[in-house]
């Protein structure tokens, strides 16, 4: 298979996870399999590890399965959303894992296949579902959501300053004819924005497309559940690395890691008991960025932000019982 996907910050991810994957029988989770570039590198770099790879997209699982076939039963590929990781590990009878990798956002395969509707640079049906068997499409969101809800989505998920202008135009246009394809939406956004806004920041449609994709796939709600679940799945000494591609994702990851790396003791205790000690140790200072060389070689790496942490303490019994 000719891999179209160039894994982002690949060597740095391997280096961060390596200390946890040295022991024989270690299990590593690729929570966002995509075309399998990171998974293939993990299986190659660590010949004794077992891989659990998760993806919600059946097409990605099929292609990645072909790529990872030479590794035989070292790789278990599972059709699931990454917040379902606890159930996946339970079914596979894996109590704890030594490594977890998330490469968030939309995969290269989904961007490259025009009919999926993720890319604003080519005309295609407005779908944007990572699993096309479930959920509503981007066209349905545009054609049925109340104007106020569309404004909220564009502002919150796309950080679009001109959300109200764009939504006013969308509502006018959908009354004339429902949306079905991306080119019409891109043209509408260009027409709705002030000239000054179109001269900077790349394609003016990118923020709206990002917002629609996040809404269609419930990405932030899923991520809010998935990162704590992944941390909970780590054995002591296990490591987690997360690649984010916009500030909302990165902020969620930062908050979970920061909370895990802080003690939870009430103020004023002279000695902090074990149950209040941090669960996590941060392995990156803030978010690490790709190098200029990598961005030059792979433009999709440009917005990447990498954070990593290590599990340093098991939950106390009363913590495990907590909701």
Return the CATH number at 19.
3.40.50.150
Domain boundary among 190, 217, 244: 217
CA angle 300–302–304, rounded 5-degree value: 90
Q: How far apart are CA 65 and CA 77, in angstroms?
A: 7
Same structural domain, 224 and 316: yes
For residue 1, the model assigns a pLDDT of 38
Same structural domain, 69 and 153: no
Tens of pLDDT along 43-101?
999 999 999 999 988 888 999 999 999 999 999 999 999 999 999 999 999 999 999 99
pTM for the structure as a whole? 0.85
* CB hemisphere CA count around 321 (13 angstroms): 3
Residues 6+ apart with CB under 8 A from 262: 278
Same structural domain, 193 and 249: no
For residue 263, the model assigns a pLDDT of 86
Judge whether 4 lies within some domain. no
The average pLDDT across 233-252 equals 95
Confirm or deny that 93 is annotated as ligand binding: no
Residue 154's Cβ-count burial label (10 Å; 0-12, 13-18, 19+) is buried
pLDDT range class, residue 273, cuts 50, 70, 90? confident
CA angle 137–78–230, rounded 5-degree value: 90
Tens of pLDDT along 125-155?
898 888 877 889 999 999 999 999 999 999 9
State the helix-helix crossing angle for 219-233 and 247-260, rounded to 10 degrees: 30
pLDDT range class, residue 110, cuts 50, 70, 90? very low
Give the dihedral of Cα atoms 165, 170, 176, 181; nearest 10 deg. Answer: 140
For residue 272, the model assigns a pLDDT of 81
Same structural domain, 84 and 70: yes
Same structural domain, 140 and 61: no
Q: Give the residue with greater pLDDT, 11 vs 194.
A: 11
Residues 6+ apart with CB under 8 A from 150: 141, 142, 163, 167, 170, 171
Confirm or deny that 103 is annotated as ligand binding: yes
Average pLDDT, the chain: 89
For residue 112, the model assigns a pLDDT of 46
Confirm or deny that 120 is annotated as ligand binding: no
Instruction: Write out the H or E segment, with its range, that includes residue 282.
Output: strand 280-282
Residue 116: pLDDT over 50: no
Same structural domain, 210 and 231: no
Q: Domains in the chain: how many in total? A: 2
Confirm or deny that 36 is annotated as ligand binding: yes
User: What residues form DSSP beta bridges with 74?
Assistant: none
Confirm or deny that 15 is annotated as ligand binding: no
Judge whether 33 lies within some domain. yes
For residue 322, the model assigns a pLDDT of 45
The average pLDDT across 238-252 equals 94
Judge whether 174 lies within some domain. yes
Confirm or deny that 201 is annotated as ligand binding: no
Q: How far apart are CA 85 and CA 240, in angstroms?
A: 14
Same structural domain, 247 and 187: no
Domain boundary among 217, 238, 271: 217
Judge whether 238 lies within some domain. yes
pLDDT range class, residue 117, cuts 50, 70, 90? very low
Domain extent for 230: 10-109+219-321
For residue 37, the model assigns a pLDDT of 92
Residue 319: pLDDT over 80: no
Same structural domain, 249 and 180: no
Tens of pLDDT along 148-182?
999 999 999 999 999 999 999 999 999 999 999 99
Same structural domain, 104 and 120: no
The average pLDDT across 98-114 equals 70
For residue 268, the model assigns a pLDDT of 78
For residue 316, the model assigns a pLDDT of 67
pLDDT range class, residue 3, cuts 50, 70, 90? very low
Query: What's the chain's length in residues?
Result: 323
Share of the chain above pLDDT 70, in %: 89
DSSP 3-state of 288? strand
Domain boundary among 217, 237, 260: 217
For residue 260, the model assigns a pLDDT of 95
β-bridge pairing 75-79 and 50-55: parallel
The average pLDDT across 293-309 equals 93
For residue 282, the model assigns a pLDDT of 98
Same structural domain, 75 and 16: yes
Judge whether 316 lies within some domain. yes
Same structural domain, 91 and 230: yes
- Whole-angstrom CA distances from 124 to 172, 180, 186, 287 are 21, 8, 11, 34
Q: Which of 229, 172, 185 is nearest to 54 (CA)?
A: 229
pLDDT range class, residue 118, cuts 50, 70, 90? low
How far is the first Cα of the chain from the last one, in angstroms, to the nearest whole number? 45
Same structural domain, 311 and 228: yes
User: What residues form DSSP beta bridges with 97?
Assistant: 234
Look up the CATH number of the domain holding residue 178. 1.10.150.170
Judge whether 100 lies within some domain. yes
Confirm or deny that 310 is annotated as ligand binding: no
Three-class SS of 197-244: HHCCCCCCCHHHHHHHHHHHHCHHHHHHHHHHHHHHHEEEEEEEEEEE
Judge whether 2 lies within some domain. no
Residue 227: pLDDT over 90: yes
Judge whether 3 lies within some domain. no
């Amino acid at each position: 298979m000719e891999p179209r996907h160039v894994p982002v910050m690949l060597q740095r991810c391997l280096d961060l996870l390596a200390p946890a994957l040295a022991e024989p029988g270690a299990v590593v989770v690729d929570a966002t399999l995509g075309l399998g570039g990171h998974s293939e590198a993990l299986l190659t770099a660590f010949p004794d590890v077992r891989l659990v790879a998760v993806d919600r997209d059946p097409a990605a699982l099929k292609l990645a399965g072909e790529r990872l076939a030479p590794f035989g039963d070292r790789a278990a590929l599972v059709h699931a959303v990454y917040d379902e990781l606890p159930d996946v590990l339970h079914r596979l009878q894996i109590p704890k894992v030594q490594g977890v990798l998330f490469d968030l956002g939309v995969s290269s395969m989904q961007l490259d296949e025009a009919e999926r509707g993720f890319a604003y640079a080519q005309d295609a049906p407005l779908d944007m579902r990572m699993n096309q068997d479930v959920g509503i499409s981007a066209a349905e969101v545009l054609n049925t959501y109340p104007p106020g809800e569309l404004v909220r989505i564009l502002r919150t998920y796309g950080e679009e300053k001109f959300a109200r202008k764009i939504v006013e135009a969308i509502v006018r246009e959908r009354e004339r004819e429902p949306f079905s394809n991306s080119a019409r939406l891109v043209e509408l956004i260009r027409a709705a924005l002030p000239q000054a806004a179109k001269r900077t920041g790349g394609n003016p449609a990118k923020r709206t497309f990002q917002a629609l994709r996040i809404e269609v796939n419930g990405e932030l709600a899923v991520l809010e559940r998935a990162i704590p679940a992944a941390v909970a799945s780590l054995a002591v000494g296990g490591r987690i690395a997360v690649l984010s591609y916009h500030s909302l994702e990165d902020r969620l990851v930062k908050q979970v890691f920061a909370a895990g790396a802080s003690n939870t003791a009430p103020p004023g205790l002279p000695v902090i008991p074990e149950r209040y000690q941090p669960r996590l140790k941060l392995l990156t200072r803030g978010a690490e960025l790709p190098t200029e060389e990598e961005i030059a070689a792979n433009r999709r790496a440009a917005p990447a932000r990498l954070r990593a942490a290590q599990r340093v303490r098991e939950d106390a019994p009363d913590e495990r019982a907590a909701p």
